[in-house]
Amino acid sequence: MQINERNVGDVTILELEGRLILGDEGELPLRDRVNRLVDAKRTKILLDLRKVTRLDSAGVGMLVSKYLTAYHKGGRVKLLHLTNRADQLMKLTKLASVFEMYESEEEAIESFDKPARTTPPTR
C-alpha cells in the first residue's frame, strides 16, 4: 500500500493506492500513518480510496479501527471516492451509517466544519 499525504487547511488527505487486505500488510502503513497524525493532533482525516484495488473484511476492520482512534482523540475519519466494491462492503456491513462518505473532495473538506452526523461503533 502506498499513501500520499497532503493537507488542505487543517484536513489531512491520505490518498491510498494498492490493496487493503488481510495478510498483505497493506493495513500496516495506514495504521501507522493515522496513529502518527492523531498523535500530532491532526485529527481531521480524509481517506481517498479511489486507487484501492482490493478491500476485504480485514481492510474494513482497519478503517473502523482508525475511525475509532481519531474519534477518541476528538477527531474524525471520513471516506472519499469509494470504489463500487468498497461501497458495497460499507453497505453490507452497515458501516455506511457510521462513516461519512463523499464523492466530492471539496464537500468532504467542508463537512469537517459541521457537527458529526454519526456515532462510533463500539469496539
Provide the 10 A C-beta neighbour count for residue 10.
12
Q: What domains can you pick out in the chain, each with its CATH number?
A: 2-111 (3.30.750.24)
**What's the length of the chain?**
123
Which residues face 7 on adjacent strands?
A: 12
pLDDT, one tens digit per residue, over 96-121 is 999 999 999 999 999 999 887 655 55
Q: In whole angstroms, what is the distance from residue 110 CA to residue 60 CA?
A: 25
Higher pLDDT: 13 or 30? It is 13
> What is the mean pLDDT of the segment spanning 29-41?
94
